[in-house]
Structure 1
Amino acid sequence: MTNIKTETYITEINELDRKGSGRAVVWRDTGQVNPKKLKLTIPQTIPGEKVKVTVDNPDRKWLRLQADQVVEPDLERIEPDCPHFVRCGGCVWQHWSYSGQLKHKTDYVKKVLEAQGFDQSLVLDTVGAENPWRYRNKMEFTFAADGSLGLHEQGNFRKVIPLETCLIASEDMVNAAMEVANWTKTHQLSGYHKDTHTGLLRHLMVRQSFETGEIMLGIFATEAPDHELTYAIEDLIRRIGRKCPQVKSLMWFENRDWADRTQAEQAHILAGRDFIYDEMFGYRYRLWFDTFFQTNPKQAEKLVELAIEMANPKSSEKMIDLFCGVGTFSLPFATRVSALAGIEIVETSIASAKRNAIDNGIDNTVFLAKDARRGIDQILTDFGIPDLLLLDPPRSGAGGKVMRRIGRAKPERIVYVSCNPETFATDIKELEPFGYQLEKVQPVDLFPHTVHVECCSLLTYVGK
């Protein structure tokens, strides 16, 4: 029998990684001249805490493991509310008080901006959620190979943790998901196996409007919903209709691609329509399965309010909304300016933005389906130089070429909404040579119990 070499240490958590897990370093005395450095990633810990760990493979240079014991806990440490928290990857900070999470997010934004040479005092305290629970209006669950439904295990994308509840999703959404899980068990339907690429069910998408209450359920599978599935599908329609009356869209999506994401080669309406209605900031939106919409609607409304407050739009001004999506910011701003042009690379989002403008009686908008760099050139030629420009790019940021094009256009004011403070900081650095000054940055917490934080900022043209 092989003896397993183990070593036990007490070490201090010195920082967090990008996914919210603690980092620590152990210096091992191996009897040689210099000790060996062992880097540890320890989930569910807080910077400054001292923890006891048992290392099963100390000869490695890096290990991810759970702490045996928190020897010196942080004052902000609390007991997590969710029974799945220790294993589930949906949240990473339920062991940390909400006030502690907010302070860390503020400090993080200050740190990344300071690294680019900006003054930390421009960063305000993070705006927290009134209720950090039940805030998500969209969830994507995964079917395990045995057909059970859940979320991925922390640090292990191939392992699915079956769930009985989820405290960051609405109760209606959880109930609808559990009804689908029960249906799967009843009919003994298989889940998708990531290694063998076999099995039927892959993902379940649930999205709900907190304003209208409407729910969309989307099942992603490797086959069409016909032939031998007919009886099971009919039973699903009956179950959902009887137990989940809020479901106004029950969809089945074929996805045979090996990539593990919720994409569709073919869509089938099982019951209801292929979209649901949602409302935000007094405007109505149609949401399809692939429509990007802010996942925390209550905090998203605060984000829109902040953007309007910072921008101070005037009825005589023209505006560009770059990365406009379905018009989340476009519609509220359009009623406050003389004309607005929206640019977005996703054609279905532009189609939705146009339709949403019509649904809300807004007729002073132009929407263009193009990538940001080429789209802004076309809009500047056809639309003219804007007084105000708003951009809300993806996590990868707008990029240097787009930011320099904005700088050359010289709009009077720029409102940058970001979901990634690091790319935000490098993007706005590009504007300094063009005469722009960062006025303030307001972090907003749209994703409690996770590492993510949004920022709303204002830059003004002050001349070179």
Structure 2
Amino acid sequence: MAKQKKQRYKTSKNKKYQSEKQNSKQSHPRKSQETVTPKANNRSINKKNHGQRKSTIEVTCTGLTSEGKGIVQWEGKQVEVAHLLPGEKAEVTVSKKGRFVKMELKRVITPSEDRANRPLSHDNEGVGCQLYHMNERAQERFKQKLIDKQMKTFGKPKPILTMEQPYYYRNKNVMTFGLDNKRQIISGLYAENSHQIIPMESSIIHDPKADEIIQTIKGMMKSFKMQPYNEDTGRGFLRHVLIRVGKKSGEIMVVLVSASSVFKGKNNFVKALRKTHPEITTILLNINDRNDSMVLGNQEKVLYGKGTITDTLCGLEFEISAKSFYQINPVQTERLYTRAIEMAELTGDQSVIDAYCGIGTIGLVASERADKVIGVELNKGAVRDAIRNSKRNGVKNARFYQGDAGEFMVQMAQRGEHVDVVFMDPPRSGSDKAFLSSLVTLKPKRIVYISCNPETQARDLNYLVKNGYKVREIQPVDMFPQTNHIECVAALDVI
């Protein structure tokens, strides 16, 4: 895309980029637990499966895909099998309909030494944890290999920073509610590439208390006559439950995502829920009456507490709302931010831009080592949160502005202003060329690019390299153990 784009196009693309930032990266990676695609009901799924021929065969895994699925050869085709490792001999179920072939692991006959010593549980653990079957050493090798391959054009990445205790790390949990074939209420995650809900009561990456609260809510629904929402019929009430946990503060937020603002018996429901879980500090009702891919709607009511929680990150205290973008693994986030700021080589006299800053996390953390920090964010609510977080922590050298970050940087360049460092942390889809063009126009001395998708990051790095920058350092961080997702920081210097 040429540098000079029509203003209308650039604005719309940057706004789309920023909107995605507010609703992405929470699950991780990924068809995330927060992202919803158009649904297919059980009836349509059954129709799709009608006519499939099934058989059971033995196969040997020859490799892994970039998503961590096993690769097997069958009838001249390369077929993917989830939770299978290279060298393993296994029994799989084959479903074939026309040219479409699907294999599901039934049992491992000859396990690999890389297999974790924990069988998949009745809680369908593998639905949200694509690498659950790998031990920690195997996960580390797998992710390092992926990063090395994606970034080989730009240099050799540093060894990946792994997590010492890679379990129960998520501070945000979203479960979807529905009915099973027996009309019983279930909660869980969507099966891959479908909207069939796979029941799940717990996960080794979820906060245990969050899982417990969700199960309590599921158990309360019948007595309070709360039906899960059905998008096909337009009937029902509860769509999702979102839980946020302050890992250091201990504060807990419960968000009931409903299809309607009419919540009969809400006071009694809140009272009963808090009686069982007095540790809950705030409860909200979020109304999502739309038919799109977002979990959270625009309307929100506070049913109990102040409507936000606080948590501490890198020594600073942040106020977090239901819609706030906040990294899901605080332990690894501290390591990620520490490395990103080190790679920025801040010495106390630089000017810094935190592009698409959200609630101001990395900008405020960096402020201690910078002369001034400018945060830019399109979402008004996030800007208010960032300003409030700045005051909460007594930060005097940070300013936050509501607007499009790309346009903001172009305007700075037109005024002859300069900046030393730009931090950018786009959604999984990466940045668009309009934003990157704006970045090149401002031409900061250094760019620190944080990404949860090395593939789109490599694409964007290629653009920046072609437009006057050189990649100096690449640091992968395992922010999402047990999943196939990786966070990566790249530092670029202007040539």
Q: TM-score, normalised by structure 2?
A: 0.83
Q: Give the superposition deviation at 1:47.
A: 3.6
Matched letter for residue 118 of structure 1: F
Q: Give the superposition deviation at 1:159.
A: 2.2
Tell me if the contact between 2:407 and 2:438 (Cα under 8 Å) persists in the aligned partners: no
Number of residue pairs matched by the alignment: 442
Counterpart CA distance in 2 for 1:216 and 1:262 is 16
In structure 1, the partner of 2:221 is: 184
Counterpart CA distance in 2 for 1:147 and 1:401 is 49
Q: Tell whether 2:484 aligns with 1:451.
A: yes
Unpaired segments of 5 or more residues in structure 2?
A: 1-50
Give the match's secondary structure for 2:218: helix
Q: Give the superposition deviation at 1:49.
A: 3.1
Q: How does 1:31-430 map to 2 (within 5 A)?
A: 37-57=76-96, 60-80=98-118, 83-84=121-122, 86=124, 89-114=127-152, 117-119=153-155, 122-145=156-179, 146=183, 148-155=185-192, 157-226=194-263, 229-230=264-265, 233-381=266-414, 384-430=417-463
Tell me if the contact between 2:94 and 2:104 (Cα under 8 Å) persists in the aligned partners: no
In structure 1, the partner of 2:73 is: 25
Deviation per residue, 1:290-332 (Å, 9 max, x gap)? 1110000111011111011111212221111112111110101
Deviation per residue, 1:412-452 (Å, 9 max, x gap)? 22211111101111111112234422122111111111111
Counterpart CA distance in 1 for 2:322 and 2:83 is 33
In structure 1, the partner of 2:26 is: none
In structure 2, the partner of 1:32 is: none
Unpaired segments of 5 or more residues in structure 1?
A: 28-36
Q: Give the superposition deviation at 1:153.
A: 4.5
Deviation per residue, 1:265-313 (Å, 9 max, x gap)? 4222111111111211111111111111000011101111101111121
Q: Give the superposition deviation at 1:77.
A: 0.6
Deviation per residue, 1:391-410 (Å, 9 max, x gap)? 11111112233324323433
**Which residue, 61, 69, 73 being the options, matches 1:12?**
61
Counterpart CA distance in 1 for 2:446 and 2:325 is 26
Tell me if the contact between 1:137 and 1:169 (Cα under 8 Å) persists in the aligned partners: yes
Counterpart CA distance in 1 for 2:101 and 2:192 is 12
In structure 2, the partner of 1:31 is: none
Give the match's secondary structure for 2:257: strand
Higher deviation after alignment, 280-289 or 239-248? 239-248
Q: RMSD of aligned C-alpha atoms?
A: 2.4
Matched letter for residue 108 of structure 2: V
Cα 1:359–1:149, aligned 2, differ >3 Å: closer, same or farther?
farther
Give the match's secondary structure for 2:232: coil
Q: TM-score, normalised by structure 1?
A: 0.88
Matched letter for residue 431 of structure 1: L
Give the match's secondary structure for 2:164: coil
Tell me if the contact between 2:123 and 2:202 (Cα under 8 Å) persists in the aligned partners: no
Higher deviation after alignment, 180-189 or 77-86? 77-86
Deviation per residue, 1:145-201 (Å, 9 max, x gap)? 356342224326322233332321222222222221221133342112233232111
Q: Larger C-alpha radius of gyration, 1 or 2?
A: 1
Q: Give the superposition deviation at 1:459.
A: 1.5
Give the match's secondary structure for 1:134: coil
